[in-house]
Structure 1
Amino acid sequence: MSTTTPTDRNSMRRVATAGCIGTTIEYYDFFIYGTAAALVFPTVFFPALGNTAGTVASFATFAVAFVARPLGAILFGHYGDIIGRKRTLISTLLLMGAATVAVGLLPTADTIGVAAPIILVILRFMQGLAVGGEWAGANLLTAEYAPAGKRGFYAVFPQLGGALGFALSSATFLVTDLILGNSDGAFLSYGWRIPFIASAILVFVGLWVRGTIDETPVFKAEQTKGRAVQSGSPFAGVLRDQWREVLLAAGLMGVQFALFYMGAAYLTSYGTESAGLERTTILAFGIVAALLTTGFVLLGGKLSDRYGRKRIIVSTYAIAVVWSLLLFPLLDTGSAVAFGIGLTGTLALYGLSYGPVGAFLPELFATRYRYTGAGTGYNLGGIIGGALPPLVAPILAASFGSIAIGGMITFLAVVGILSTLALRETADRSTLHDGSEAPTTAPAGLPSWTTPA
């Protein structure tokens, strides 16, 4: 049992809360774009393309962020590994907030023509850079503070930001829709802008919360040894020493992104246009499903401390192989209940496999370039599973039927299983290590919450 008690300023409760609130705000900003891409942007920014083409174009701008995310991971990872996790995370939050508010203020295509979608793509790219630098830093901030044997559990708190951000995004759009009396004219004219502009308030809250904690003891210990500076570029170090882990992490993450963004973005569009459900019904289901997902994220993280990261992830992916093939036949019944079950089941599988990742990916990489390595692998997976599936799904459905979408997710789940099996188990690993395969222990004098379970 640990005999070291962190100061109140850096207690695990405070660190976990800061991680959860910070990522919730970042992902709220990121997801309101996805909701708007499904409900609004085809009409507002791509009115001349028609229904199907407008939806594809809208999700293409949505996908731009996933291309930017690995670049954000490299850019902010460099500074996160050199100057620290905390200061870098403040920068990602400021960039995300500025880009999100700017989307809410952007004139439509009817006002400024083709300049509107071009600016939209630029702002979405900025969002991608920000969230690409967010995930690794937020998880490192908690994982590098977490007590031995509980790293999987505490590392889920930044992971909750995805589900909570989606719930908050759906709730904001739902409240806006209800206040406007379900008026399409008012909603498309100005109502959709409210969630984007309101994010400015949340950004200030996030900055205050992140300012209440200190840099992690693991990063401070690494700086003391001088390796963070002496090793040169963190990205060059990752490519030289742990390129295999980066690629396998990307393969592992692809299906998680696919499950989440198919649920959070594509199914929103599918439910309104193909299943014929009301916008308010879809948004309400989104809120409930996202809140339930938080429980599965917590469960996945806690189970990974007991049974190992790999076992929980592989078991969940095996279920996803079957579930993905059943999902769209279920949705195609056109029933609101079936839609709710399909959305909830999809996000539940995402949550159970996502819980262990908050500890698993950071544990894979050497301390001196952990921010860069974990962030790059994670966000390359975002291109595989977050950018391509929502973009390709409408085309697959039109050409081969909706079952082809399920087949795509099943394929990604198989890739995820193989990638996870190829990685080593890390639950026994110290958060201060050099990237070697052997489990390591923290050197004398380092706080005991960095030692292995």
Structure 2
Amino acid sequence: MSGTQPLRQPIADAEPGRPMRPARPVRPARIAAAVLVGTTIEFYDFFIYGTAAALVFGRTFFPALTPVNGLLAAFSVYAVGFLGRPTGAAVFGQLGDRVGRRRVLVVSLLLMGLSTTAVGLLPGYAQWGVWSPVALTVLRFLQGVGLGGEFGGAALLAVEHAGEGRRGRLAGFVQLGPSVGFALATGLFWLLSVLLPEDRFQAWGWRLPFVASIALVGFGLLVRLGVEETPAFLADVRTRATATPLRELSQRHLRPLLLGAGTVMAGSVLFYTATTWCLARATTDLHLPRTRMLGLLLIANVFLAAATYASARLSDRWGRRRTILVGTVAGLLWSPLLVPLLDTARTPLMLAGLTGALIALGICLGPVPALLSELFPTAVRCSGASLSYNLGGLVGGAVAPLVATRLAAAFGAPAVGAYLAATCAVSALCTATLPETRDRSLTEASPEPA
């Protein structure tokens, strides 16, 4: 990362009549570590559910259903997590605007980790009957609430600490978290699949990644508790005086809120189709070994991480809007190829299909934390960025595995490609409508897009 000089940060609240205490240096590497560790753990928790839903949950929690209906039921509970994300964004976003970004990050991490650990300890349908899937649904919703509170706080922690001209690259570590979290989740499931016989994996092996979450959360808390509040929040007394950030958002910033959500939507659809749904299709419909598909996803994820951070850095030079548009157009062009390449069941072609989709996704999502943070003024920035990101995830990611499963069953692979291409086209239109925000001041009110 360029810029080894420490950022200067006020360490006392800017209240009327009270001078600030002397600033102390905050190094960019420390901020990058705080946001990367936190988002990695949060998304690890969220992704292990998707992997387990594709591989295990149909038989464990919905054994009375046929394999296809059991998978659909598991994906339906999977979608509940996305319903929790806007709820978490609204609750934690308001807290972030009123009491600070740092506190929100600590609470959201705890909620996510405890909910995930509880899933790993949850008895199956054979032990608890109908209460087992009910409890699974509640815990999945709480997972979503925790993740919904994560993005806004992490994005603002990076963006509001960054200097001019490097917001994109520092905020890029927020979006690296999903890649690293996915790699941890997928890698652990791959290792368990290799080491354990199928009956032991189905009986208890799948629970280990969930229980391991509690140790990761402890480590994440140690990192985050050592980070100070952001300068933009401390310098803006009005932030803490704003009693209803959501009302101000709905009255004065509704357009950028909705357009930001539309911008994020394509990335969510691409990711959850290329990972969760493709994993289920490869192992259920194509009868491919689980270890083979998990290994391919791990390799493709390396390209996702590289594309994500490269586009985040590039957005400091090109601008957020132009960089995201390149990614959405690439996703639109690659969408018709993803499922046909997967269905060949030939390893090189399958890898090409997955890698192409995830590279397009990385280009789309790298600049997003900086873009969404720059769209809103300080008083509503945490609420606005959180809601935009998680509404886009809800509209895109929640239904993607369900829609793709239904479309493939009814109309075949070309229908899934058309669905992906259509969402990319909508996101491209939303992105093109937004203003460029790269040079926008974080201390001035943000105008609505023309």
- Interval of TM-score (by shorter of Structure 1 and Structure 2): over 0.9
Find out whether 1:43 has 2:63 as its counterpart: no
Equivalent pair of 2:320/2:367 in contact (CA under 8 Å): yes
Q: Secondary structure at the match of 2:399?
A: helix
C-alpha displacement at 1:195, in angstroms? 0.3
Equivalent pair of 1:396/1:404 in contact (CA under 8 Å): yes
Aligned to 1:118: 134
Aligned length, in residue pairs: 433
The one-letter amino acid of 1:31's match is F
Q: Distance in 2 between matches of 1:2 and 1:52?
A: 53
Aligned to 2:173: 157
Within 5 Å, give how 1:342-357 maps onto structure 2.
342-357=353-368
Aligned to 1:247: 258
Q: Deviations over 1:192-223 (max 9, x none)?
A: 0000001110000000000111001111011x
Give ranges in structure 1 of 5+ residues lacking alignment: 439-453
Within 5 Å, give how 1:391-406 maps onto structure 2.
391-406=402-417
Q: Distance in 2 between matches of 1:82 and 1:393?
A: 40
Aligned to 2:227: 213
Q: Deviations over 1:132-172 (max 9, x none)?
A: 01011101101111111111111100110111100000111
Aligned to 2:442: 431
Q: Deviations over 1:392-447 (max 9, x none)?
A: 11111111001111111111111001101111000011122222369xxxxxxxxx
Q: Distance in 1 between matches of 2:57 and 2:407?
A: 21
Aligned to 2:145: 129
Aligned to 2:301: 290
Bigger shift: residues 171-180 or 61-70: 171-180
Bigger shift: residues 339-348 or 79-88: 339-348
Equivalent pair of 2:98/2:241 in contact (CA under 8 Å): no
C-alpha displacement at 1:5, in angstroms? 4.3
Q: Distance in 1 between matches of 2:220 and 2:274?
A: 26
Give ranges in structure 2 of 5+ residues lacking alignment: 10-23
Please report the TM-score for the alignment, with normalisation by the length of structure 2: 0.94
Q: Distance in 1 between matches of 2:323 and 2:95?
A: 32
> Which of residues 184, 200, 212 in structure 2 aligns to 1:168?
184
C-alpha displacement at 1:274, in angstroms? 2.3
C-alpha displacement at 1:293, in angstroms? 1.2
Equivalent pair of 2:7/2:28 in contact (CA under 8 Å): no
Q: Distance in 2 between matches of 1:38 and 1:114?
A: 20
Aligned to 1:441: none
Find out whether 1:192 has 2:206 as its counterpart: yes
Q: Secondary structure at the match of 1:418?
A: helix
Aligned to 2:17: none
The one-letter amino acid of 1:217's match is P
Identity among equivalent positions (%) equals: 43
Q: Deviations over 1:217-243 (max 9, x none)?
A: 111011xxx212333211111111101
> Which of residues 332, 338, 341 in structure 1 aligns to 2:349?
338
> Which of residues 229, 233, 246 in structure 2 aligns to 1:235?
246
Q: Distance in 1 between matches of 2:242 and 2:63?
A: 52
Q: Secondary structure at the match of 1:195?
A: helix
Please report the TM-score for the alignment, with normalisation by the length of structure 1: 0.93
Equivalent pair of 1:9/1:212 in contact (CA under 8 Å): no
The one-letter amino acid of 1:86's match is R
- Relative distance call for 1:295 and 1:108 in structure 2 (3 A) is same
Aligned to 1:12: 28
Stretches (4+) displaced over 4 A? 1-5
The one-letter amino acid of 2:52's match is A
The one-letter amino acid of 2:398's match is A
C-alpha displacement at 1:321, in angstroms? 1.2
Q: Distance in 1 between matches of 2:448 and 2:421?
A: 31
Equivalent pair of 1:275/1:331 in contact (CA under 8 Å): no
The one-letter amino acid of 1:42's match is G
Equivalent pair of 2:117/2:213 in contact (CA under 8 Å): yes
- Relative distance call for 1:2 and 1:423 in structure 2 (3 A) is farther
Q: Distance in 1 between matches of 2:57 and 2:330?
A: 34
> Which of residues 131, 135, 147 in structure 1 aligns to 2:163?
147
C-alpha displacement at 1:45, in angstroms? 0.8
- Relative distance call for 1:387 and 1:5 in structure 2 (3 A) is closer
C-alpha displacement at 1:313, in angstroms? 0.8
